[in-house]
Amino acid sequence: MSGYVELLEVHPRKSVEVEGDALAWSTRQVCEWLSQLQPGLDADAIGAFAAHHITGDLLHSLTEEHLEKMGVGVIGQRLVLLREMAKLRRKARAKKRFEVLWEAHGVPYKTAYEYLQYKLCGCCMDKPDHYKLTHSSLVLTQKDYSKASGIFSRAKHTRIIDLDTVEHVAVHSERECCDCGCTPDTIEIDLDDEKGLEPLEPITTPHGEGEAIAASIQHAVEEAEAPIADQMVR
């Protein structure tokens, strides 16, 4: 089990109320939000959103021209709407950036025998102790015993990989290791060479689990590149 990662609970996306993620609002929730704005909108302006079936994902795409065509004739009300919709976009973007999609602990060994194999193996390298994937980054945390301040203490080193620097994600099934007998899947993550970033060590997982984890990382990378209005809560 040297260097493997152990899958933890994947945090599910929850259904959203009016106070939650605006991208998932129904037309009714949009109208409830409109009725709470200050300065308030008149009933005709709110009714225009209901008549045109404006849901949360469409709300993020509206322009002043759209509002005028919908019948929101008062310039002041259009300006209020544009300002408040911009606030919603910023909140949605900030909330989505840090939502945890996948999280795992590194498991270098489980028994004394595996620990001995791990220490004697010439192929297996020290891996991060914790992995966390969000919509914006891959966070790797590793214990650093060289900076320990006491016998039982240890420092931690954390590296945050912005997903917009990821160029390619690939997974390979390795042959059995000659020293310890492990047969891991290896996930290779290539970073943007032009940004001068330190290469990322491959992530090793138990055989058969690499494809799903690599797909999660690749999907997060693609979502990070998409406009916020396209990043719908499924």
pLDDT attached to residue 119: 54
State how far the Cα of 232 lies from the Cα of 234, in Å rounded to an integer: 6
CA distance 29 to 17: 8
How far apart are alpha carbons 108 and 117 in whole angstroms?
10
| CA triple 94-99-100, angle to 5 deg | 155
pTM over 0.85: no
Rounded Cα distance between 200 and 27, Å, is 44
Domain ranges across the chain: 4-12+100-230, 22-97
Phi then psi dihedrals of residue 139, to 5 deg: -105, 125
Architecture field, domain 22-97: Orthogonal Bundle (1.10)
Domain 4-12+100-230 has CATH 2.30.29: yes
% of the chain exceeding 90 in pLDDT: 25
Query: Could you check whether 4-12+100-230 and 22-97 share the same CATH topology?
Result: no
pLDDT digits (tens, 9 = 90+) for 8-67: 434 433 333 444 578 789 999 999 999 988 777 889 999 999 999 999 989 888 999 999
